[in-house]
Structure 1
Amino acid sequence: FFKTTAKVNASVVATLILGFISCQLIYGIGFAKQNPEITQVRQVLPLIRPLRFNKLLVKLGIVTPEEIYSVSLPGKKAKMNYPLSELNCKGGSGYNIVFLFVDALRYDMVTKEIMPNVHEFSKNSVVFKNHYSGGINTRHGIFTLFTGIPGNYWDTSLQTKSGSALIKALQARDYEIGIFTGAPITMPEFNQTVFATIADPRLESQGKDSIERDENAIKDFEAWLTSIPKNKKFFSFVFLDNVHAAVFPEDKENTVFKPYWKTVNQLELNNDFDPLPYLNRYKNSVHYADKQLGRILKNLRDHIDLLKTIIVISSDHGEEFNDNKQNYWGHNGNFTKYQAQVPFIVKWPGKGNVEIEYATSMLDVVPTILPEVLGCSNPVSDYSVGENLFSPSKDREYRYVSNYSKDAFIEKDRIVLINEVGLLNYLDENNRPSSNKEIPSYLKKVLEETSRFLK
């Protein structure tokens, strides 16, 4: 009897393991080949976390790079209805637009000591002091920046290659567009989402580490900038990656903050770990990124008309160093200001130097630029759930922030979470249980906003 039971148990375990491996293989190959019948499983089963192994599949010859990076539709009817109607864009200020973003840059880093170049730049800019990203990870932070819609649309946008309203409007106005990132735009798949309508975008940088790859992106940006025909309007997105990895040239010139953690070992992090050396390492990487931004700003001053150019300096998300003593390090862990709030500095011709204290969001960028700069006459509700950065409603109740498995609504003194199975959870601003468990009155509006752009 025991031998028989053992054989049955072994058989069951073997079947489960084989089934698990088979499911992961089916999903991995289906994802690489962009098969919507397979990839939509993540929307149907939100708790599932299937594996991806694109590079291995290419190496084995099972799929081609063209299949993985293709932005053509897979032949099925699209599920996105975004924008709701064709963009009608003419007129507007027609300014050039430059986005300078640093991955994982905390909201409190723009100081004279840490970021002297950006701090100086901010003195003649509009500084948004209470600005939140649309995500606590790169995927949703950048997606919401370029689309103006919540991060929950990511999967459907990826399946249908729906692109972004900002890029589409720029293309409609015949802007020259340049994308220069230290990290590949294929991980996450920005080439198939926000940049899907750009033919042959720059996919990656060359270099052995993030410092070299950022340097390569900056050099390519500088060459591109000088190649733009005179009087040609342009948009550029430069995205530096070294702060995300907390790396910098560890020499005397660039080692400003001491003592710093020389070798990062995530396994050592716990609630009793002294965050100062790790934070100092991070600050050194930020200080180095500021040097790179200073170089870019000088190049812009030397080669373009700043009176006809909007420059935005910001980040995709923040970075936590156990600020709330709950053993959270990095990002994508909670929705407190340490991970969700980002610096947002805008040099906009005619706007002057103003510090704005009211709540703003990355979802507000598209509904500001499209009508004011690109002259799009569509109602904002056609392409975004955000508001104009310079004239938001006075009674703004929340800001929408998301990650891979949760949606959060950041209120003034509370964080309302909708978790993986749709249940509400109430936290205070420090990620601890909130005594206020009142169901938000805006949930009906949220449901409409998170489904408005689906067919």
Structure 2
Amino acid sequence: MERHPLNEHTYWRSVRFAYFALVYLVLLWINAANVDFAAAAGGGYGNLLFLVNAFASYNALYLLPALVLTWLAGRPWPWRWLRLPRGAVLAANVMAVLTGALTTLFFYANAKIHALYGMFINGFVVNLVMTPGGLESLGGSASSTLGFALIGLAFFLGHALLFLLLAFSGRRFALLRWEVRRLARPLLVLLLFSMLGDHSVHAYASAMGKSDVLELTQEVPFYVGTTARSLFKKLGFEVAAQEKSLDLEGRLQYPAKPLEFTKPEKPYNIVWLVAESWRADTLDPEIMPATWAFAQKAQVFANHYSGGNGTRIGIFTMMTGLPGTYWDAFLKGRRGAPLIEVLQQQGYQMSLYTSAKFSYPEFDQTVFSQVPREQLHEIDAPLAGWEKDRQNVSDLLKFIDTRDPARPFFAWMFFESPHARYYFPPESVIRTPYRDDINYATLDRDELQKDIVPIKNRYLNAVHHLDSQFARILEYLETHGLLENTLVVMLGDHGEEFMENGYWGHNSTFSDPQTRTPLILWIPGRAPAVHEQLSSHLDVVPTLMPLLGVKNPPEDYSSGYDLFSGKRREYVVFSDWSRVGYKDADVKIALPTKMQGFVGKRISGPNDEELAPQRAQELLQSKQPQLVRLMQELGRFNQKKTVQTVSAGE
């Protein structure tokens, strides 16, 4: 029996339905790059079926906002009131194209971030976009900006063209003469049953402790799992022992005791130099001749680690001596670093400089929150990182030159030269060939792997320029006789990876290239030495506080050690937005902080080497006492802490 022709509204609903069906296929294609179906199949066809079902249903769910907005735009009553009878059709069609393009563009960006940095769009990315100075910190070039704009334009034009082709095909070839939208209801029922199925499996796997199944969902963007332990208990199932997740909430109670100090008779000046992305192996006589020569006269810590893999946590941990998990509490309470308070109470003249922004990350609201704004110096001019470094060094030296000699001073500076895109003038070139530019818009893993040597050469040229700016400060201190009564701290906020472990840059993993940095301490009167023991950013403040006359033991205000106390560090701790890391001589472990049962934990050798699953499990089990101590330390300065122990169960 032949169907009746469709009226205009029904026809356009059918076009939109066909359009969103094609958008769904595009989403499947984009997000498939995140998912290792072959690895899932290795765990059995049941695992593969579960992953395929979750992947298919969630990609449909991603379209829900676009569908709802399109439906709302097509409601007829506003347009009837405005006497625009065709307005509902036009508004719904435009909304469909806009939301379809935005959805696929969002997940395209999400897939690119995952490929390059191993994470989906998360709180870190949102903070990067929303916080003043965040996007600027990326160091994008004009070609990158143009590339992003062209990609966005291509998505919108492509979706508009697709919609027009569907509309033309429907009119011309009668492809949409029947109300295909009637498929929407059975498809919606199918989607609901599909999601019910994969969430039921997830709940069962969670109750039974089948972490191999739970791990699969980590490859599905924004998957939200379901648990139903009580239900399975009532049904007579023997559920697995429950693993606990980290709970790091609680009101900050810091420091544990008020700091007491006796101001030294001859207080030290302090010059604190922090370099963006300064990895440990660049401290050598070829790349950094001036810094290397100075290090031979100072204290060098050759096995030193940042407290994280990004600027936020790197600087926070070095200035407070606390793990990065306390960042949110400091930001919420506008809490500053006790070191700064001690210096202010002792009458130090202060001047702080950055070639980035004090507002991103929010250091002006955390570690430097009590520093007057006029002492926080930024350069707003559109200069390259190396140019800002040079200007800031000049300003820093001017501050020292014009200070009151009768009072001690604290000078702090953050250098940007080694930050991607890696900035340097022509005279700083020591390695060729190097990439002229790094276009973030077109960058992918294949291109990185192919061009990683010239990209790293660009980085090394930038570090060589950094050395020249360190040299200006060190030479000034020496020629003016200030090294006799000045403490000098030189370190990186974190490291920088060049695909040694599958990623470029930082903020993705706790690999050694991303977390190891140099640490050079100049302490007047101390014989030069190279220290091979494990050290951390958390140890810098506890090492300096006694030199400032602070009487409290380090545990009153930090989780670190005085590096000259003779106490040996067993392990170092890392953190980022969603994970805590542990590293000792035997193993490196990364634990998610928000997931029940630590689904998503990663275990490797101490130098990032892969481990057989059985060996990884043995190491995790053997490190339970150390991990328990670590978890307790992460909540020690919270007034109400409910940090739980770690279970190694699979």
Q: Give the TM interval when normalised to the shorter protein.
A: 0.7 to 0.9
- Match of 1:222, SS state, is helix
> Amino acid of the residue matched to residue 395 of structure 2?
D
Deviates more, 1:222-231 or 1:415-424: 415-424
**Greater Rg, structure 1 or structure 2?**
2
Q: CA deviation at 1:213?
A: 1.7
- Alignment partner of 2:429 out of 228, 244, 255: 255
Relative to 1, partners in 2 of residues 1:54 and 1:290: Cα closer, same or farther, differing over 3 Å? Answer: closer
Aligned residue runs from structure 1 range 18-417, under 5 A:
50=126, 52-54=129-131, 79-92=251-264, 94-200=267-373, 201-208=375-382, 209-251=384-426, 253-266=427-440, 267-270=443-446, 272-324=449-501, 326=502, 328-371=503-546, 373-394=547-568, 396-417=569-590
Relative to 1, partners in 2 of residues 1:250 and 1:306: Cα closer, same or farther, differing over 3 Å? Answer: closer
Q: CA deviation at 1:215?
A: 2.1
> Amino acid of the residue matched to residue 118 of structure 1?
T
After superposition, give the CA deviation of every residue in 1:35-80 in whole Å (9 maximum; x if it has no partner): xxxxxxxxxxx96564553559xxxxxxxxxxxxxxxxxxxxx932
> Amino acid of the residue matched to residue 278 of structure 1?
I
Relative to 1, partners in 2 of residues 1:449 and 1:299: Cα closer, same or farther, differing over 3 Å? Answer: same
TM-score by length of 1: 0.81
Name the CA distance, whole Å, in 1 between partners of 2:484 and 2:637: 36
Q: CA deviation at 1:136?
A: 0.8
- Match of 1:357, SS state, is strand
Deviates more, 1:359-368 or 1:417-426: 417-426
Q: Give 4+ residue runs of structure 1 displaced > 4 Å after superposition.
A: 1-7, 9-12, 14-18, 46-52
Name the CA distance, whole Å, in 2 between partners of 1:272 and 1:363: 34
- Match of 1:129, SS state, is strand
Q: Note if 1:432 corresponds to 2:605.
A: no
Relative to 1, partners in 2 of residues 1:12 and 1:245: Cα closer, same or farther, differing over 3 Å? Answer: closer
- In structure 1, runs of 5+ residues without a counterpart are 19-45, 57-77
Q: CA deviation at 1:385?
A: 0.6
Relative to 1, partners in 2 of residues 1:317 and 1:249: Cα closer, same or farther, differing over 3 Å? Answer: closer
TM-score by length of 2: 0.58
Relative to 1, partners in 2 of residues 1:421 and 1:433: Cα closer, same or farther, differing over 3 Å? Answer: farther
> Amino acid of the residue matched to residue 458 of structure 2?
R
Contact 2:418 2:462 in 1 (8 A): yes
> Amino acid of the residue matched to residue 294 of structure 1?
A
Name the CA distance, whole Å, in 2 between partners of 1:386 and 1:392: 13
Name the CA distance, whole Å, in 2 between partners of 1:353 and 1:398: 25
Contact 1:177 1:235 in 2 (8 A): yes
After superposition, give the CA deviation of every residue in 1:346-393 in whole Å (9 maximum; x if it has no partner): 11112111010010111001111112x111112321100100112353
Contact 1:107 1:341 in 2 (8 A): yes
- Match of 1:365, SS state, is helix
The number of residue pairs the alignment matches comes to 401
- In structure 2, runs of 5+ residues without a counterpart are 1-9, 21-60, 73-120, 134-249, 640-650
Relative to 1, partners in 2 of residues 1:103 and 1:11: Cα closer, same or farther, differing over 3 Å? Answer: closer
After superposition, give the CA deviation of every residue in 1:330-356 in whole Å (9 maximum; x if it has no partner): 111221211111011111112111010
Contact 1:89 1:173 in 2 (8 A): no
Name the CA distance, whole Å, in 2 between partners of 1:247 and 1:377: 42
Name the CA distance, whole Å, in 1 between partners of 2:611 and 2:69: 38
Relative to 1, partners in 2 of residues 1:444 and 1:248: Cα closer, same or farther, differing over 3 Å? Answer: closer
> Amino acid of the residue matched to residue 301 of structure 1?
E
Q: CA deviation at 1:84?
A: 1.8
Q: CA deviation at 1:409?
A: 0.7
Relative to 1, partners in 2 of residues 1:392 and 1:318: Cα closer, same or farther, differing over 3 Å? Answer: farther
Partner residue in 1 for 2:150: none
Name the CA distance, whole Å, in 2 between partners of 1:170 and 1:16: 56
After superposition, give the CA deviation of every residue in 1:258-287 in whole Å (9 maximum; x if it has no partner): 111112234144374242211111111111
Amino-acid identity (%):
33
Q: CA deviation at 1:442?
A: 1.7
Contact 2:534 2:570 in 1 (8 A): no
**Alpha-carbon RMSD:** 2.7
Contact 2:386 2:465 in 1 (8 A): no
- Match of 1:282, SS state, is helix
Relative to 1, partners in 2 of residues 1:425 and 1:245: Cα closer, same or farther, differing over 3 Å? Answer: closer
> Amino acid of the residue matched to residue 260 of structure 2?
N
Relative to 1, partners in 2 of residues 1:255 and 1:88: Cα closer, same or farther, differing over 3 Å? Answer: same
- Match of 1:346, SS state, is strand
Relative to 1, partners in 2 of residues 1:55 and 1:244: Cα closer, same or farther, differing over 3 Å? Answer: closer
After superposition, give the CA deviation of every residue in 1:401-443 in whole Å (9 maximum; x if it has no partner): 1122211011113111111434143222225346232332122
